[in-house]
Amino acid sequence: MFKVSSFTKYLVALSMVSPAIAGAQTKKVERPPQYVLFAFDGSYTNSVWQYSRDFSKDQQQNRNADVKFTYFINPVYLLYKDTTGAADSRRFYRAPAPYKGSAIGFGDSKEDVSERVDQMNDAYLEGHEIGSHAVGHFDGSVWSEEAWTAEFTEFYTILDNVFKFNGLRPTSKQNRGLLFRNEIYGFRAPLLGFSKGMWPVLPKFGIRYDTSLKNNENYWPTRNKFGTWDFPLAQIKEPNGARTWVSMDYNFCVRDTASLRKANPATDRLGANKPGIDCYKTVTAEQKAQVKKNMLNLYRTYFARNYYGNRAPVHIGHHFSNWMSGAYMEVFYEFANEVCSKPEVRCGTYTSLMNFVESKSAKEIAAYQAGAFDKMPAPKSMKIDRHWDLAIAMKADDQKMNFELKGADAQRPGLKQIITVNGKNTEIKGEITLENIRKMGAYGEDTKVRIAVEDRLGKEVQTATFKVEGLGTDKEKISSENIEEKWNDGHLAGAHDEENDTHGH
């Protein structure tokens, strides 16, 4: 059922891992295990609960691998919206202002909620972990400490009253309620959106670690001043290219969508210039293979750098969603299948990582960070291509947009610059006139101008996207903000929109 591929086979394609430099004064410690954390945001799709649990059992039985997941749940899916118009349980959640309702929908029916309760309990009993993804999936970056307190209070109130609120009679299997209720230690902020007011609230509700931040691939966890562990997503540096990728499926989806549009604008059913962010739900087999290969390559690189390097935990954050015809979902499981049975790898829950780091002194963690231990020798054949130093600087006046390539790799021969506007591509050399952009774009609309730098083989190595408001009108305005920087900045609005036609997660 799960494709087995040889780990060493792909390592042939990777290049030398640069040895992490141990601090000269750091005393050597024992080599730590390689933690790999696989987490899901959401909780809506019961078939994903079932599949992931089955995968874990299959790994145990057939690969002798102990794979445990952490599920960051939204209790709006423990309430339901009744489409027949009958009384439903949505009213039991009140979102903190300025929000109302839920950003990601609700459960479908009493029966649907009941099944989800069983899935969550069974996952917990099988050794997986349940964490919190807040309730209504709102962007908390505007919330005060009081609002965060209200949201967490709602979270537990729904868990504690799930049967009452839904008019459900607990089955014999359910009569002890939600079994994980008092073992929720972890949090990921929806949209990775938080405010200063969030941090003091987390420990008050028993949250001991947070997964809402981003950091370097080789980051070893530390605690903030409230005592909360920081288990961030990684910013993966692509080999043989200059971009970084957040180790979360949705962020891949946003960038991959832009690349696919450029490669095949004529068949872009979403509309090449559609504002906002869209993840393709279905793609061709060829496109699927392309995005899968890219993500697998980046995850493998991330893993290899750490496994043969300083052993910093590897964080993979995905959703209950089948974007790109399921490409990311497949990579999630294929990657787990590849790495979790390797020596010294622990594909455990976030709490297992927390227990590990809490058993170590700050000095030991500092020694890990410095890589002050005998590293696992990388296979001689292993190659990881270098990450490029290449940035795009844009300057605009009322006549043109000028793009300057900066960094050590900017002078490489054979680099091409391709501009994509409104589903049309054109090659440029450093600048494009507004007149030409107007010819490609749609009059009066906000228009995205994307520049891709391609290497001599046509592979994108750096990209940037800028917005021109009111193209061609007297209100025409070029924004200097590269909106792709947001794509490196966590998981974005709309992350749960395409789970199915009506729901988030």
Q: Residue 329 or residue 370: which is nearer to Zn ion going by CB?
A: 329
Nearest distance from C-beta of residue 391 to Zn ion, angstroms: 30
Nearest distance from C-beta of residue 41 to Zn ion, angstroms: 4
Nearest distance from C-beta of residue 351 to Zn ion, angstroms: 20
Q: Residue 432 or residue 495: which is nearer to Zn ion going by CB?
A: 495
Binding range to Zn ion, per CB under 5 A, among 160-168, 359-367, 385-393, 488-496: 488-496
Strands (E), 92-247: 129-132, 186-187, 209-210, 214-216, 229-230, 233-237, 244-246
Q: At what angle do helices 46-63 and 110-125 cross, to 10 degrees?
A: 20
Binding range to Zn ion, per CB under 5 A, among 198-206, 327-335, 440-448, 492-500: 492-500
Nearest distance from C-beta of residue 132 to Zn ion, angstroms: 11
| Alpha helices (H) along 180-248 | 198-204
Nearest distance from C-beta of residue 250 to Zn ion, angstroms: 8
Q: Residue 38 or residue 163: which is nearer to Zn ion going by CB?
A: 38
Q: Residue 189 or residue 390: which is nearer to Zn ion going by CB?
A: 189
| CA-wise closest residue to 295 among 262, 263, 338, 264 | 338
Strands, sheet with 244-246, edge to edge from the N-terminal-most edge strand: 214-216, 233-237, 244-246
Binding range to Zn ion, per CB under 5 A, among 30-38, 183-191, 363-371, 403-411: 183-191
Q: Is 455 in the site for Zn ion (CB under 5 A)?
A: no
Nearest distance from C-beta of residue 496 to Zn ion, angstroms: 5
Residue type, 418: I
Chain residue at closest Cβ approach to Zn ion: 41
Nearest distance from C-beta of residue 184 to Zn ion, angstroms: 16
Where do we find the tokens 């697998």?
296
Q: Residue 41 or residue 278: which is nearer to Zn ion going by CB?
A: 41
Residues 219-248 that bind Zn ion (CB under 5 A): none
Binding range to Zn ion, per CB under 5 A, among 84-92, 185-193, 240-248, 463-471: 185-193
CA distance 260 to 487: 16
Q: Residue 190 or residue 232: which is nearer to Zn ion going by CB?
A: 190
Q: Residue 251 or residue 341: which is nearer to Zn ion going by CB?
A: 251
Long-range contacts made by residues 378-383, C-beta under 8 angstroms, separation at least 24?
378/11, 378/16, 378/17, 378/304, 378/308, 379/8, 379/11, 381/8, 381/11, 381/12, 382/11, 382/12, 382/14, 382/15, 382/16, 382/17, 382/304, 382/308, 383/11, 383/12, 383/13, 383/14, 383/15, 383/16
Stretch 134-173: interaction string toward Zn ion, x if CB under 5 A = ----------------------------------------
Total residues contacting Zn ion by CB under 5 A comes to 3
Output phi, psi for 85, to 5 deg: 90, -5
Nearest distance from C-beta of residue 77 to Zn ion, angstroms: 12
Q: Which of 75, 96, 136, 190 binds Zn ion (CB under 5 A)?
A: 190
Residues with Cβ within 8 Å of residue 381, at least 6 apart in sequence? 8, 11, 12
Binding range to Zn ion, per CB under 5 A, among 11-19, 184-192, 297-305, 321-329: 184-192
- HEC sequence for 29-81: CCCCCEEEEEEEECCCCHHHHHHHHHHHHHHHHHHCCCECEEEEECHHHHCEC
Instruction: Write the Ramachandran bin of 134: left for phi over 0, alpha for psi from -120 to 50, otherwise beta.
Output: left
* Alpha carbon distances (Å) from 6 to 10, 63, 85, 238: 7, 13, 53, 22
Q: Residue 105 or residue 441: which is nearer to Zn ion going by CB?
A: 105
Binding range to Zn ion, per CB under 5 A, among 81-89, 188-196, 322-330, 381-389: 188-196
Binding range to Zn ion, per CB under 5 A, among 82-90, 193-201, 325-333, 487-495: 487-495
Q: Residue 138 or residue 185: which is nearer to Zn ion going by CB?
A: 138
Q: Residue 298 or residue 495: which is nearer to Zn ion going by CB?
A: 495
Structural tokens at position 394: 């844009």
Nearest distance from C-beta of residue 104 to Zn ion, angstroms: 8
| CA-wise closest residue to 1 among 443, 438, 333 | 333
Q: Is 75 in the site for Zn ion (CB under 5 A)?
A: no
Nearest distance from C-beta of residue 494 to Zn ion, angstroms: 10
Q: Got the DSSP string for 141-167?
A: GG--HHHHHHHHHHHHHHHHTHHHHHT
- Give the length of the chain: 505
Binding range to Zn ion, per CB under 5 A, among 16-24, 40-48, 123-131, 416-424: 40-48
* Alpha carbon distances (Å) from 358 to 33, 209, 354, 372, 424: 14, 11, 6, 19, 54
Strands 447-454 and 416-421: antiparallel
Please list the residues that pair with 432 across neighbouring strands: 401
Q: Which of 34, 38, 41, 130 binds Zn ion (CB under 5 A)?
A: 41
Q: Contact 446/471 with Cβ under 8 angstroms?
A: yes
Nearest distance from C-beta of residue 277 to Zn ion, angstroms: 14
Nearest distance from C-beta of residue 49 to Zn ion, angstroms: 16
Nearest distance from C-beta of residue 56 to Zn ion, angstroms: 22
Residues lying near Zn ion in the complex (CB under 5 A) are found at 41, 190, 495
